[in-house]
Amino acid sequence: MEWYNKDEMKKLINKKNSVLVVWDVQEALVNSIFNKDEFLTKLKELINSARQYNIPIVYTKITPLPERFQPPYLKRRFNPGDIVKEVYPKESDIILNKNTTSIFVGTNFELMLRNAGINVIVFTGIATDIGVETSARHAQALGFLPVIAREAVSSSDKQAHERSLANMSKLMLVLDNKEIIERWSSE
């Protein structure tokens, strides 16, 4: 059972208060997910809608720390590659280099949102069960309204992806693209 009224929460989403986060859509990660073609199609749909409604788009990019400063439990440096060409950022988009599974740790993301008067964060990307869920929960703890784009998130582990969506749906909005786009277009 949800502790919130989904219909009332959806009314809080509009094109003026939203940002679209494209989480770690980098070559190695995209090539590892269970639903690559469907994921890219739905992600492109949301990105195109965000551009149509002048909603800022923030791409995150895994950026390892210098080797000496990497956590000791990481045995090797991971090179995820560049953001995939199918959804590559345009000049007006923001690329946010980050080193952790939270978009808020070690970045100016929170400051940027507060400066712009943005309080709704629509999350897309990879992996649902790692960085997307971590960042969405962190966003909620900071007073933002996280929205998970159900069709535009994925993982290499389908069961973990589905568990994560089920868990998040008890705490926050997990919506189809159609529902998100309807809110963006309603004003």
The model carries a pTM of 0.95
Which residues are 100's β-sheet partners? none
Upper half-sphere CA count for residue 100 (Cβ side, 13 Å)? 12
**pLDDT above 80 for 169:** yes
pLDDT tens digits, 112-155: 999 999 999 999 999 999 999 999 999 999 999 999 999 999 99
Taking residues 164-174, report their average pLDDT. Answer: 97
Phi, psi of 85 (to 5 degrees): -65, -30
What pLDDT score does 111 carry? 98
Query: Helix crossing, 177-184 with 36-52: angle to 10°?
Result: 0
- Which domains are present in the chain? 6-184 (3.40.50.850)
Confidence of residue 166 (pLDDT cuts 50, 70, 90): very high
Instruction: Return the amino acid letter for 96.
Output: L
What pLDDT score does 76 carry? 64
Count H helices, E strands: the chain? 7, 6
What pLDDT score does 155 carry? 98
Taking residues 166-180, report their average pLDDT. Answer: 97
What pLDDT score does 33 carry? 98
pLDDT tens digits, 63-122: 888 888 887 777 566 789 999 999 999 999 999 999 999 999 999 999 999 999 999 999
Taking residues 151-162, report their average pLDDT. Answer: 98
